[in-house]
Structures are given as structure tokens and as C-alpha cells.
Structure 1
Amino acid sequence: MKQTNLLLAAILLVVLAGCVEYRQSHDDLITVDLSKSYPKKELILQDLMDVEYIALETTDEFLTQGLVQDVGKEYLLVSNRNRDGDIFIFDRKTGKGLRKINRQGQGAEEYAGINRIILDESNDEILVMSPGNKILVYDLYGEYKRCLKLDREVSSVFDYDKSNLIGYDMSDYHNKGKDRSKSYHILISKQDGSITREIFIPFKTIDTPVVTGDGGFVASYSYQIRQSHGKCTLMDTSSDTLYNYAPDGTLTPFIARTPSAHTMEPEVFLYMGIYTDRYYFMQTVKNVFNFEKGNGFYTDELMYDKEEKAVYQVAVYNGDYAEKRTVAMTAKPINSEIEDATSLNASRLVEIYKKGQLKDGQLKEIASRLSEEDNPVIMLVRQKTKVNKMSPK
């Protein structure tokens, strides 16, 4: 009864806030027991998704380490891992370098660094998240347009619609064990950075992947927002339910985990990955860390098979390689079209090609004409344009 009262209180908080409608539906709710061990299954990426490779043009002007920031229908944005401020814009289809932008500096129209870059093709704009809770907005040629000053410690920011971004407030990581006092998922105006909608996921006590010890603390960070297969799924480690979020503000329970993270020692948290018509990919994170050895937050990759109504521990392999090479189905999300973007080192691809470890196809053809000094090749993963029947390996 106490648990029921807490849920009702949380729902009442949502209603009073006037920000979102909570819709309970048990018919489609999936339950995953994180205390169980599940049988293993192997799948091939190309059976599940469309995979595309883009060889980035290499010239004296366009030399990049190939950290993919965003991908649109026309453009592909990459930066360097050394945080030098360079933003490279490549043609999405051909990989041809179009222009290089660098507005890094300490001026009012400059970004102090690059935390994240968002491509907004609907408005022909580039939004650069900069330290200091700022988003600098430029046109596609690097001309300054405006600065969005945020009053939240926001991360996991993605393009949502023509007028808004969607993001997650990271301040809960500093308040573990306390009662929540605000929403953590929010819609942000692209015009002035104000909060246009607060999205309250029902829960009472904050529980985050944070481990304290040796006079400090360490945190594990995963993505609390996943735009996949035309849906927007919101996660919060303080909640035992993952929700689908609709444009009208409706929250619908999607996946429920048991037992509650609040009762586990150590806690095990659940995050959402890519999902298809049949398969829902997830990741668990165990909230442990060894300060002496410097490792922890151990993960497992899970998958729910909608046809079999069963959960598996899963490994997905890239079928373009002759050897088994796993693909993370819970990697950093890109946007509602591109599920994942991976940078493949050119020298490594040349080495693999010479060893005969690539199967016939687009990747092998690209690798055959690469030199070791070339820019990376970008692998894009997206939903299949036509759903085909498949069978596990």
C-alpha cells in the first residue's frame, strides 16, 4: 500500500505541474527481471539494420580525427578529439568536405569548447554546447546568430522539433538519496534557451550511478534519452520504469524493471538502446567501482525478443567482417534517423583489408582504395527501409 501511495503522489505531482499527461497501459508493458541470468543469443547487425559507410574526403584543409557529432539528410558534422575547436561539415552522401568552422575563443560570439554539436537542418543552424551552460547558435557557414544561456546543468541534448531541443538535467547526480524537487527531462527553446516544458517521470527518491570512496566520488554516465524507431524513450535511474514520450506530452510506460533499483545492493540500473519491430536492446550497469584498481560499472547487453516474449543476453556482430566484431546496440544515440555513428580508423581498415578480414561489400571496396593517412570512414546505422524476416545466427 505504501508503494501504491507513493506512485499516486508522484502522478499527482505530474498533474499539478500541468506539464505532461501520465498514461498507464499494462497491455504493452514489458517486464525485465535484472536479478536473473538470461540465455545467450548472437545476431548479425545487417539482419537488423541498414549499414552505410562514408569515406571522408582527405585534403590539407580537411584533416580530422572524425569524432561524429551529428548526421542530417544533407550534412555530416565531425570534430576532433583533441578539442581544438574545429567543426568539419561533410556532404552526407559523398563524404566530400564542404567547409571547416572554428569559432572557439573567449568572445561573446565564441564557444569556450565543444561539449556537443547539434545539426538543425530544419532551421539551417548549428548549435554548439559550450562549457558554462551555453549553446552558441551559428548558421551553416559559421556566422553567429545567438547564444542560449541555460539555467540547468543539461546533458544528453538532442534536436526534438523545429522549435525545441530535448535534454536531461545532470544535477540529480549530486543529490543521490534526496527527494526530487524538479523535473530532470526538459524541452528547451531553440530561440532563447528557456524551458518550454518540464517532463516529470514519476519517482520520489533520487538514485543515480554514483559511488563514493577515498574522499571523492565517481559516476557512470549513460544516455537518458533515446530516439529510436520513431519513438522517444526517456529513462531515469531513479525510476523503475522506462517511458515512451509523445509530442502531445503523454508519458506511456514501456519497460518496467524488477527488482527495484532502490532495493538492490549494489544497484543495477537499466538503460535503453536501439529497438526494432522485433528486438528491444538494453544495457545494465552495476553500480560498483574499485578506486584502487580504477575500474567498475560493469555492463551487460540484454535484448527483449517481442515475438518470443523472452529476454536474452545478446551479442551483435558486424557482418562485413570475416571475424566476430561486436557492435554496441546501446552506444551514443545520434538522432531520430541515425541510430549510431562510428568512426573507423583508416590505418586499421587498411591493415584488416590486407589480412583478408573483410567480406565483399561496401566496406571492403572503400578499404581497398584507402591509404593509412586518410580520414576515418564513418559507419552509419539506421532502421531498415524495408523490414525483412531474419533468424538468429
Structure 2
Amino acid sequence: MKPTATIAAVMTAILAGCSSSPTEESLPTIDLSANLPTKEIFIEDIADVTFTPLETTDSFITRGNLTSITDKHIAVANNGRDGELFIFDRTTGRAISHINRKGQGAGDYTDFSHAVLSNHSDEIYIVCSGLKKIMVYDLKGNLLRELPYALPDDRYIKINSLAEYDADHLLAFLTIGSPRLDTSDSHHAIISKADGTITQSLPISITTPESSVYSKDDFVAVSILPTIGTTPDGWAFFRISSDTIFTLTPDRTLTPLLTRTPSIHTSDPQTFLYPTTATSDIIFLVAVEKTFDIDKMEGFPSTHIAYDRNDRKTYSVQLKSRALGPDYTFTTEPGRLFTPTNPIIAAIALPAETLRDLNLSQPLKTIVETLDEEANPVIMIATAR
């Protein structure tokens, strides 16, 4: 079997040249029922790529699940449940801070699902679902303030995705009313960093609520699908109950980016489609089937898809890197903590043991030769040109 890895990527799509909102007929349409031709794409052809080995010490040992990257810092966690969060220098990989505020005391979190660094200040925003608060800390783990997001009527609410919108606001997708169903009340929102109030709701209308939860008899499995991506001048929004993916422009206007067929409401098996990486020429997406093999405990199979905006064709794509050799192919899984922001279009934590088995090129080969089996991962970051 060829080696693979999970790439944490949500990306950009360029709508240059569109002087008005696209009509339904002009939108790219992804046909999920088609037998797609295969296309091989190297990430170096669409982005500038760097590799940063994370420093390893007795108190800085991590699985390397990316949670956030800024111009200066990289934040990684283990799984969010153990409370561990590690902050490194983005350029050198030097260990800066080890935070764990999991507990029951004042200023602690009971868990976290997202940890977002600020590009505008030395703050980090940690979503604690148990307390229904966004906890704001400095980079040493000192509590600065709490941003509650519980609803006054005690309805179910969860932050599905979180990103930094600007110097004063966060961007989130709020799942409201049901942990299993994409209800009509769920929506994207711009949230104040100062007190957690919603300064603007950004709803995408739906007709029939859908669910990414697979259930059969007493068995339940959940596929967590990313709902926020980035574009060069804004953001990309995905909802599992909508056939259309939208962009949010700087003037806070929602504009359709692409649509799909068959509809999410009629596809069999039900297949979700969300955007990952994109450039001005290609929009990368992932199709996820809501199927599960209980005997093998394997489910939600995913497929890379690329829409070429020049020839207006859709491909099944293999995303590769020349630095990692010809046998290495990236895979994308829907569950992750990481939501990139411009100009980052992709990032991945590469375990040292995986890298040693690959036919690497320089300078990555020299970097890996200095790492032992216990070393922290190497972070690959791809930025838009």
C-alpha cells in the first residue's frame, strides 16, 4: 500500500472577472454520479511550500494535530480531550509555550474542540463545548476573558468551525437545536472578540435538514464536516443541507461559488461535498459518502475532486508533493481542528517515522536525517502565490 497522510486544508477560490453574482447556469456544477477521469497534481505547482520541524523536549511531545497557524506561530494539540496545547515558532519550530488548563477551577476548560491563534494579538481562542464558552488566553495560558455562547432558552448549541475574521471578530458556524440534524436555525456568524456577541448572522437557507450522522440499530457514527474555508478576498461557506457552496466577500455578501448534482437530498448513497484547496484555476473538493461498514469499523469513504475552471471539467485527483517522493499521496478526512486563514491554503503534520520511509528530496531529506523516532512532527505549510 502506498503511504498516505491526512492533509488539513480548507481553501480558496477566486471569482476574478465576475462583475455580478453568478447565475445558476454559470455556476460550476459537480456531477457526483459521473465516472471521473483521474488527474495528478503536485502541490508545489499551485503553492509555495515550507517544512518546519517542531522542537522536541521532555515537556514538548505532541501528536501534532494542527489547530492554528499565524504569521509567527503554530499551535498543535493531541486530541483536545486531554487539554494539551503546544505553541511553536512558525519559522524555526522552536518550542514557545505548553498550555493545559483542563480542570474544574476558575479559568479552566473541561475540553476543547478548537484553538485559534490571533494574527493581530498574542491571544488564543479556545472553544469549550462543556462550558459553552470561548476561553481567551494569552500565549502563556493566562485567562484574559470568557465569551459565553449559550442560548437564553437552553437549546442545544455547538461551535462546529472557528476562525479569526479580523482584528476584532471571530467567524464561526453555530449548530443549533440538534446535535444530529442540520436545522434551519444553524448558521454562520461573525462574533465579537470583546464579549462574544453575534455582530452579524450569515444564514444560508435550506429546504430539508440533513444529517452527517450514520445510525443503524444501536450503532451511531458521526462525520464532522468542515463548514468554513477561505478565499483570497473572503471566505467559503459549506452547509451539509445545501447544494450550493458560497463565498463571503469583504463587504459581507454571500455569493454562490458552485453547485452539485444530484442533490444532497436525493443522492444515494447520500454524499456530502465540501471545498478544500483552490486556486484561480482549480477548485479542490472532497466528496464524503454517508456509509459505514460496521463489521470492519470503517466508514465515510472520501474522494478527492478537482474542478478545472479553464476547461470546466471535473476530475478525481491525486494530490502529491515532489518533496515527499512519487509514492506519497495526500488524503483529506473531514474531521479536524484546523481552519486555515489567508494566505495559507494547506498545512499538514508529517510524522518523522512516516518521512523516513519516503524517497525525500532536499532540503526535507536533511531535516529528517536529524530527527529520531521520538521527534515531534514536521509541519508542511503551503501558501498561495
Runs of 4+ in 1 over 4 A off after TM superposition: 172-176, 329-332
Q: Is the 8 A contact 1:272 1:330 kept in 2?
A: no
What are the superposed Cα offsets for residues 162-193 of structure 1, whole Å, 9 maximum, x if unpaired?
222111123466464x9x44242122221222
| In structure 1, distance between residues paired with 2:100 and 2:326 | 40
5 Å-filtered alignment, 1:189-208, equals: 189-208=192-211
5 Å-filtered alignment, 1:293-372, equals: 293-328=296-331, 332-349=338-355, 351-352=356-357, 357-359=359-361, 361-372=362-373
Aligned residue for 2:276, secondary structure, equals: strand
- From 75, 84, 90, the equivalent of 1:92 is 90
The AA in structure 1 aligned to 2:340 is I
| In structure 1, distance between residues paired with 2:184 and 2:240 | 16
Name the residue aligned to 2:379.
Answer: 378
The AA in structure 2 aligned to 1:139 is D
Change (3 A) 1:56 1:33: same
Q: Comparing both structures, which one devotes a greater share of its residues to helix?
A: 1
Q: Is the 8 A contact 1:346 1:374 kept in 2?
A: yes
Name the residue aligned to 1:164.
Answer: 169
Residue 261 of structure 1 deviates from its aligned partner by 1.5
5 Å-filtered alignment, 1:270-281, equals: 270-281=273-284
Residue 337 of structure 1 deviates from its aligned partner by 2.6
Residue 208 of structure 1 deviates from its aligned partner by 2.3
Residue 201 of structure 1 deviates from its aligned partner by 0.8
| In structure 2, distance between residues paired with 1:185 and 1:38 | 32
Aligned residue for 1:61, secondary structure, equals: coil
Residue 39 of structure 1 deviates from its aligned partner by 0.8
Residue 90 of structure 1 deviates from its aligned partner by 1.3
5 Å-filtered alignment, 1:64-143, equals: 64-81=62-79, 83-132=81-130, 133-143=132-142
Q: Is the 8 A contact 1:45 1:327 kept in 2?
A: no
| In structure 1, distance between residues paired with 2:63 and 2:303 | 29
Name the residue aligned to 2:225.
Answer: 222
- From 244, 251, 259, the equivalent of 1:248 is 251
Residue 372 of structure 1 deviates from its aligned partner by 2.1
Q: Is the 8 A contact 1:74 1:93 kept in 2?
A: yes
Q: Is the 8 A contact 2:97 2:139 kept in 1?
A: no
Q: Is the 8 A contact 1:224 1:236 kept in 2?
A: yes
Aligned residue for 2:379, secondary structure, equals: strand
The AA in structure 1 aligned to 2:71 is K
Change (3 A) 1:219 1:374: closer
Change (3 A) 1:289 1:173: farther
Q: TM-score when scaled to structure 2?
A: 0.85
Change (3 A) 1:380 1:240: same
The alignment yields a C-alpha RMSD, in angstroms, of 2.3
Aligned residue for 2:331, secondary structure, equals: coil
Name the residue aligned to 1:209.
Answer: 212
* Larger RCO: 1 or 2 (CA < 8 Å, sep 6+): 2
Please, which runs of 5 or more residues in structure 2 have no aligned partner? 1-19, 151-156
Aligned residue for 1:320, secondary structure, equals: helix
Aligned residue for 2:166, secondary structure, equals: coil
Rg larger in 1 or in 2?
1
| In structure 2, distance between residues paired with 1:153 and 1:214 | 26
Aligned residue for 1:263, secondary structure, equals: coil
- The size of the alignment, in residue pairs, is 356
| In structure 2, distance between residues paired with 1:89 and 1:82 | 14
| In structure 2, distance between residues paired with 1:334 and 1:172 | 27
